[in-house]
Amino acid sequence: MRQYLIAGNWKMNTDPVEAAELAAEIAALLSARPPDDNVSVALCPPFTSLVSAGAKLKESKALLGAQNCHHEAAGAFTGEIAAPMLAALGCTYVILGHSERRRYCGESDSDIRQKIAAAMAAGLTPIYCVGETLEERQAEQTLTVIERQLRRGLDSIALPDASRLVVAYEPVWAIGSGLAASAEQAQEVHAFIRAELGAMYGEKSESILLLYGGSMKASNAPALLAKPDVNGGLIGGASLDANTFVAIAQACGS
């Protein structure tokens, strides 16, 4: 049976009280109208809201994730958060390589590669984000950019099994713009990512979950999620509304 993951990236939104309220609302909706068993759900609040949101997910189907981590496990890195700290808080996932971090924090593919290694060593599953800018798409460089990000970001990263890595295709021009990729555009890139992962990891890569991210909402989710290589979504803005987020989870397999 096809597996799906719907993950909410709350970005720099929600203080601990707001995060607890939103997580509780999502948990209640998931228990009242559960998505199918083959659909996993994750919420990725800011670091400061992981504890309060996580407490509301204890009895729920939803798992907890973070939005970044440092590449070292501990040490003199003032202001940073290490992957083992996230694991100790009950995180299952960590988003790495998001285009906002590439753009605003100058993260390179090789910085991200180190973070992926650290996350895996701590037992977390990285949600590795890749995607092209509008200029790159217009210059027909999309697949070249994705290939580079995959090859560099995953260079020498061993994959024990497919459940230990999630890849999110997030075209930069679609993030927060209200203009999602079409289902056909998403499928084309996802099929390419699937083939690249196959070349890197062989047969076990076939069940790595590939998420689409970029202005996914309840209205466009069914078409995107119906594509054979789209195994879920990384949802930004729409994950801050409990009803919309759960509706997207329910669209999996519909």
- Which residues does the annotation mark as catalytic? 98, 170
CB 56 within 8 A of CB 29: no
Q: How far is the CB of 158 from ligand PEP (least distance, A)?
A: 26
Q: How far is the CB of 215 from ligand PEP (least distance, A)?
A: 4
Site for ligand PEP in 235-254 (CB under 6 A): 235-238
Among 45, 131, 171, 214, interactor with ligand PEP by CB under 6 A: 214
Here the tokens at position 95 are 């988003």
By CB under 6 A, the count of residues binding ligand PEP is 13
- Whole-angstrom distance, CA of residue 229 vs CA of residue 47: 31
Which helix (H) or strand (E) element contains residue 72? none
- Whole-angstrom distance, CA of residue 153 vs CA of residue 200: 12
In the complex with ligand PEP, which residue's Cβ is closer, 57 or 175? 175
Site for ligand PEP in 8-47 (CB under 6 A): 9
Closest by CA to 87, choosing from 75, 99, 73, is 73
Q: How far is the CB of 230 from ligand PEP (least distance, A)?
A: 13
Site for ligand PEP in 151-190 (CB under 6 A): 170, 175-176
CB 62 within 8 A of CB 42: yes
Binding segment (CB under 6 A) for ligand PEP, from list 25-33, 47-55, 62-70, 214-222: 214-222
**97 DSSP assignment:** S
Binding segment (CB under 6 A) for ligand PEP, from list 32-40, 130-138, 194-202, 210-218: 210-218
Nearest-CB residue for ligand PEP? 236
Among 127, 167, 216, 221, interactor with ligand PEP by CB under 6 A: 216
In the complex with ligand PEP, which residue's Cβ is closer, 4 or 201? 4
**1 DSSP assignment:** -
Which class for 102: exposed (0-12), middle (13-18), buried (19 or more C-beta within 10 A)?
buried
Q: How far is the CB of 194 from ligand PEP (least distance, A)?
A: 20
In the complex with ligand PEP, which residue's Cβ is closer, 201 or 212? 212
Q: How far is the CB of 39 from ligand PEP (least distance, A)?
A: 18
Closest by CA to 187, choosing from 205, 203, 173, 171, is 171
CB 150 within 8 A of CB 167: yes
Among 116, 146, 234, 248, interactor with ligand PEP by CB under 6 A: 234
Here the tokens at position 134 are 């509008």
Q: How far is the CB of 59 from ligand PEP (least distance, A)?
A: 27
> Taking each helix axis from N to C terminus, what angle separates 16-32 and 242-250, rounded to the nearest 10 degrees?
40
Residue holding tokens 């798992």? 63
In the complex with ligand PEP, which residue's Cβ is closer, 12 or 76? 12
- CA 202: distance to chain centroid? 22
Interacting residue ranges for ligand PEP, rule: CB under 6 A = 9, 170, 175-176, 213-216, 234-238
